[in-house]
Amino acid sequence: MVAVAQNYLQKHFSGLSDISDAAVQRNLWQQMQSKNANSEDAYLAEICLRCYISHQVYQVCLDLGMKFGSLNGFDYKDLLPFVLDDEVLAMVQRNSRRTQANSYQSLATTVLQTFDPVRGSLNTWVNRYVKQQPELKRFLLQHGVFLVSDWALLNDTNSKEMCRILRDMYGLTALEIEQTCDLLVSYHAVYREERLQQRLHGSTLPCQAPTSEQLTRIAKHLQGATGRVLSGDAILRQLQAIAAKLRRYRIAAQGGSVSSVSLDRPEIQPLVESSVSTQEDGEEVEFLRLYQKQFLASLDEAIAVVVEDFIIRLQRKRQSVEESFVTALQLFHCQGRSMNQIAPQIGLKKQYEVTRFLKLNELRADIRQKLLIILRSQVLEIAKSFTDSQSLQNLEQQVDVILDEQISSIMEEAQSEVRNPVRDQPLKGMLSRRLCHYLDLRASRHKFSS
């Protein structure tokens, strides 16, 4: 039957090379819908459209796999079963015509039932339905992919929600939260307002990156509202950093996987792209080796400083608290015990008492700030050997945003596993592993000194 449909297509569109895909699609769709066409022609027109839709479904999955697969642990072939599911073509391949209604409705059937050539091309229709398919979206979320543009994310998030996310998930300081939300308000005042006007005039185009003119106006609005002076490039970088935080929050909130910086992989791409001026393989590998080594050393130092500071602050309120605090940290992160299980082992009764005692959100926020301070100076020092003075100056302007994104992913991973723990098993995130490493070293030193 597919061969018959191919003959039908060649017969009706003998000069295919001179006819646009859109014109062919429109003609086939009209033939399929026409009440005057004989049933065989209408059916063959439908089969042709279904073949084209299946090809486009394949192309969309291939594109998603190429963009996101290698970094997120999947292949385009993993996506095909969710959407390449045309029940009518399957029947044709089994040499059977549809003799009764099938309760199952494939993506291709949905596309054909909703397609309107006046409102858009078949390619656009297929692309939209593939990316909105619930099972495929769920699969992508589980692999840390959220198919919404940065600019749509920023448009859909109000400043109040943004403040809550930055406080609860990222543990930012009050000043950092205020500055971020001020920038979001200025973005809304310029970009979102124009977007709303476009939609009122019937535009359905997806959100695009802000133009240079829009970035300049956002900068002026921000300066007028807060007195802060930022260049258009700085505005763009900071908006992208905010969107990255929102993306990770949305993924985690919907039960998806939030990835962290993997120091087992030989790439820390944002830093490489921004700091390595020469792209020679040897220098890039050497930079990454030094960065990875320094990242771990800086994280270990930040953990040690913050944990000891926490103990000192606790001891001001109550003596002999050190052992209880260290024990609780060890039981929670290194053995996977619940707060209820920990309470009686440190002289407390209730879960909430342990939560208040440990203050894990505050602990993570302090480690994050300390790590950023330590790592910033170390990265700039490393970069001196790999960049010229102009590139180093550019890196100094960008390094806070770049490192903040890398560090935030580790903190998000830590928060995500705290919310969804596997009981009686050590937490596996990088922060938890390094914290347990420090607690082991600390216990060994205390044992040796005693």
Domain boundaries, the chain: 2-142, 150-253, 280-449
Q: What percent of the chain has pLDDT over 90?
A: 22
Contact assessment for residue 402 and residue 271, using Cβ atoms and an 8 Å cutoff: yes
Given pLDDT bands bounded at 50, 70 and 90, which one contains residue 271? very low
Give the sign of the dihedral formed by CA 150, CA 153, CA 155, CA 158.
negative
Rounded Cα gap, residues 223 and 32, in angstroms = 58
Given pLDDT bands bounded at 50, 70 and 90, which one contains residue 178? very high
Cα of first residue to Cα of last residue in the chain, in angstroms, is 84
Given pLDDT bands bounded at 50, 70 and 90, which one contains residue 94? very low
Enter the DSSP assignment of 202. T
Looking at residues 364-392, what average pLDDT do you find? 76
Looking at residues 214-236, what average pLDDT do you find? 92
Q: Which residue has the tokens 């342990």?
A: 354
DSSP string, 9-78: HHHH-TTGGGS-HHHHHHHHHHHHH-SSS-HHHHHHHHHHHHHHHHHHHHHHHHHHIIIIIHHHT--HHH
Contact assessment for residue 8 and residue 31, using Cβ atoms and an 8 Å cutoff: no
Out of 18-22, 141-145, 302-306, pick the least confident.
Answer: 18-22
pLDDT of residue 391: 57
Q: Which residue has the tokens 């098993």?
A: 425
pLDDT of residue 268: 35
Contact assessment for residue 270 and residue 401, using Cβ atoms and an 8 Å cutoff: no
Farthest CA pair distance, the chain: 96
Stated pTM of the model = 0.51
Q: Which of 70-79, 242-251, 253-262, 301-310 reaches the highest mean pLDDT? A: 301-310
In sequence order, what are the residues at sequence separation of 6 or more whose Cβ sits closer than 8 angstroms to the Cβ of residue 302? 367, 370, 371, 374
pLDDT of residue 281: 43
Out of 81-95, 272-286, 384-398, pick the least confident.
Answer: 272-286
Q: Which two tokens stand for residue 9?
A: 């297509």
pLDDT of residue 275: 36
Looking at residues 335-339, what average pLDDT do you find? 90
pLDDT of residue 26: 81
pLDDT of residue 90: 56
Element (H, E) at 311: helix 281-317
Looking at residues 390-410, what average pLDDT do you find? 65
Q: Regarding predicted confidence, which is higher, 435 or 205?
A: 435
Looking at residues 415-436, what average pLDDT do you find? 81
Residue 118 to residues 8, 114, 115, 126, 202, Cα–Cα distance (Å) = 24, 12, 9, 15, 14
Out of 257-271, 315-329, 361-375, pick the least confident.
Answer: 257-271
Given pLDDT bands bounded at 50, 70 and 90, which one contains residue 378? confident
Rounded Cα gap, residues 405 and 394, in angstroms = 17
Looking at residues 370-379, what average pLDDT do you find? 84
pLDDT of residue 190: 93
- 411-425 pLDDT, tens digit each: 877 877 777 777 778
pLDDT of residue 87: 66
Mean pLDDT over the full length of the chain: 79
pLDDT of residue 270: 39
Q: Residue 299 is which amino acid?
A: L
Q: Regarding predicted confidence, which is higher, 66 or 424?
A: 66
pLDDT of residue 162: 92
CA nearest to 51, candidates 103, 97, 108: 108
Given pLDDT bands bounded at 50, 70 and 90, which one contains residue 450? low
Looking at residues 193-205, what average pLDDT do you find? 75
pLDDT of residue 388: 56
